[in-house]
Amino acid sequence: MKFYALLPVRDEADIIRQCLQHLLQWVDTVYVFDTGSVDDSWEIVLDIASQDQRVKPIRKEPVYFSETKLRGYMFHIAREEMRDGDWFLRVDADEFHHIPPPEFVKTYLRPYETIVYHQYYDFQLTEKELAAWQRGEETIHDRQSSIAERRRYFTPSYYSEPRLCRYRSTMKWPETCSFPINAGFVAKERLPIRHYPHRDPVQLERRYRLRAIMMADATNRKNWSRPEEHHWSETNWRKFVVSNDNPELQYWKPGTELPRYQFTNHLKPAHIRLVQRLVHASLLPILDLTRPGFSNHTQPQPISEEINQLLIKELSADLKLKS
């Protein structure tokens, strides 16, 4: 079996090299789509791709991020190489798999479990770390160090979504869905992922400035249900700095095990799972024939030139200021 990763990227120059180096420890192919970075993300991707043919840059184009059109588009490029029994993953640049997926599949999955939800360990920027940054004890030059060394405090995430799936040639992923229809039988075990969305004050401020601009765009808001409630609508990055007194906050020493959680909120009730297992054992290829597919004419949705120029102006100026 082979493992394929689908990686959309936008303005992740501080972390993308570490992300790809991590993925290349176990992945067979990683497909990368840059959705319009104004930093050096794409250049870093191309540099690594020139050294390792397993990194396959799709292209760089200013498009709206979409769990449906963008990820589905990437999947339909990657599936040209996939074969029945291979595995594919949705990945992001700020994610590091604590257990390599090939090892996870061999060690933790039963043969009939073919779709895996993630277990996030959300690594946080704490108030004490922010204070140290403001005193100059940590600076932007420390980004050269491993993110695992820089951010060591995390909180466990109860929320979970599908990330790893066994491929079958008949499966359908239409542009209206965030994952293939009837992707497979859900595993009890979750895939542990160290998640680093908040890495330092500069990155955090830029992250929420980018998202605020995108969520103010009327076209983009149509892509989200309840956009006013979406976490991308928050503009004050300081709200995401965590108190060191937070009772859920835990310390992790790199190289050691993370606590193992047994959350089950991603699972259907037992009687429904029994029916699903029976159906998935033999009927999925037949059901796939009744599902809509991904249109060959569907492309990721381009960002308007007005919004793209605003992003370039705002984020490029910020890069010059912080360099």
Q: Decide: 132 and 224 in contact? Cβ < 8 Å.
A: no
Q: Is pLDDT at 22 greater than 70 in this prediction?
A: yes
10-19, 89-98, 249-258, 288-297: least confidently modelled range: 288-297
- pLDDT of 249 over the 60 cut: yes
Residue 235 has pLDDT above 80, yes or no: no
For residue 322, the model assigns a pLDDT of 55
Q: What is the full DSSP assignment across 205-272?
A: HHHHHHHHHHHT-HHHHTTSSSGGGSGGG---GGGGSBPTT-TT-EE--TTSPPPP----TTSPPHHH
Neighbour-count burial for 14-23, b at 16+ CB within 10 Å, e otherwise: bbbbbbbebb
Residue position matching structure tokens 């689908």: 6
Backbone angles phi, psi at 260, to 5 degrees: -100, 125
Ramachandran angles phi, psi of 301, nearest 5°: -80, 120
How far apart CA 44 and CA 3 sit, in angstroms, is 22
State the pLDDT at residue 319.
Answer: 58
Instruction: Say if residue 105's pLDDT is above 60.
Output: yes
Q: What is the mean pLDDT of residues 216-231?
A: 66
Tell me the residue ranges of DSSP E strands in the chain: 3-9, 29-34, 55-60, 87-90, 95-97, 115-123, 153-156, 162-166, 191-195, 250-251
Query: Domains of the chain, with CATH numbers?
Result: 3-197+244-322 (3.90.550)
| Structure confidence by residue, pLDDT tens digits, 159-218 | 999 999 999 999 999 988 889 999 999 999 999 999 999 999 999 999 988 888 888 888
Q: How many CB atoms lie within 10 A of CB 10?
A: 23
100: how many CB neighbours lie within 10 A of its CB?
A: 16
How does pLDDT run across 253-311, given as a tens digit for each residue? 999 999 999 999 999 999 999 999 999 888 999 999 999 888 877 889 899 899 999 98
Confidence of residue 321 (pLDDT cuts 50, 70, 90): very low
Structure tokens at 45: 């991707």
Percent of the chain whose pLDDT exceeds 90: 76
CB neighbourhood size of 48 (10 A): 21
Gap between the Cα atoms of 81 and 75, Å rounded: 10
Residue with tokens 């599949």: 105
CA distances from 297 to 76, 175, 187, 294, 317 (A): 12, 11, 34, 9, 36
HSE of 157, CA atoms in CB hemisphere, 13 A: 20
Q: Could you tell me how far CA 87 lies from the centroid of its own chain? A: 16
Amino acid code (one letter) for 20:
L
pTM for this structure? Answer: 0.93
